[in-house]
Every structure is written in structure tokens, then in C-alpha cells.
Amino acid sequence: EVQLLESGGGLVQPGGSLRLSCAASGFTFNNYAMSWVRQAPGKGLEWVSAITPSGYSTYYADSVKGRFTISRDNSKNTLSLQMNSLRAEDTAVYYCAKKVGVIPGFDYWGQGILVTVSS
């Protein structure tokens, strides 16, 4: 059974940093691209970042470029998102998501973790 379990969320002050992790199991992690998607309270879905199976290539939404860094450790089946210079507008539930394969789309999602940026 595929499982994605996020951790590392919480309350942080504006300008602060936080590191999210996503522990993956039930599939061959190093065969699949992964993404982070967020959802502000009461709002829609926003794609944040993606990383290729090897970790060689990374992609970011303009809203987080230069502040967030996605990475993965294929030896530990773990996806991470380092978030720096956090702003109030980064407040959201963050989901890690597994890409279907060669076809774009996310077939498995974590349960989500809340990040609140507030003083």
C-alpha cells in the first residue's frame, strides 16, 4: 500500500524557516517524480515544487522561487521541502504527491501538514 506521511509543519514567524519531510513507502520511490502542493485555508490547490526521480532536476512556482528548496533522499525514501523567508501568504496545508508515472497527474497524496506563518 502506497503511503506518504508529511511531517515538520507548525507555527513560524514571518521571515523564519521550516523544513517539511515526506516519508514514502509502498512503492519504488526512486522511480517517480514527486511534488509539493499547498492549499491556503478555504482556498484552492496551488502547485509549489517538483523534483525528478533522480533529484537532478527541480521546478518551482514563481511564488516560492528563491525561497523554497525541494530535495529527496532516495536511500531513505524521503522527500523534503526547505522553506526560508516565510511569509503570511505561505500559510497553508502542504501535501506531498506522487506523480503517476510518465503521465502528468498525482495518483497518491499525503494527508497534508499545516504550516502557519504568523507573529
Partner 1 sequence: EIVLTQSPGTLSLSPGERATLSCRASQSVSSSYLAWYQQKPGQAPRLLIYGASNRAAGIPDRFSGSGSGTDFTLTISRLEPEDFAVYYCQQYGSSPLYTFGQGTKLEIK
Where do contacts with partner 1 occur on this chain (CB under 8 A)? 35, 37, 44-47, 50, 59, 61-62, 95, 100, 103-107, 109-112
Q: Are 47 and 62 in contact (CB under 8 A)?
A: no
Contacts of residue 71, Cβ cutoff 8 Å, sequence gap at least 6 = 51, 55, 58, 79, 80, 82
Q: Name the residue nearer to partner 1 (CB basis): 68 or 95.
A: 95
Q: Name the residue nearer to partner 1 (CB basis): 16 or 107.
A: 107
Contacts of residue 47, Cβ cutoff 8 Å, sequence gap at least 6 = 35, 36, 37, 61
How far apart CA 62 and CA 113 sit, in angstroms, is: 22
To partner 1, the closest distance from the beta carbon of 10 in angstroms equals 19
To partner 1, the closest distance from the beta carbon of 2 in angstroms equals 11
- SS3 category, 90: helix
Q: Name the residue nearer to partner 1 (CB basis): 103 or 119.
A: 103
CA nearest neighbour of 4 among 32, 31, 26, 28? 26
Q: Name the residue nearer to partner 1 (CB basis): 66 or 75.
A: 66
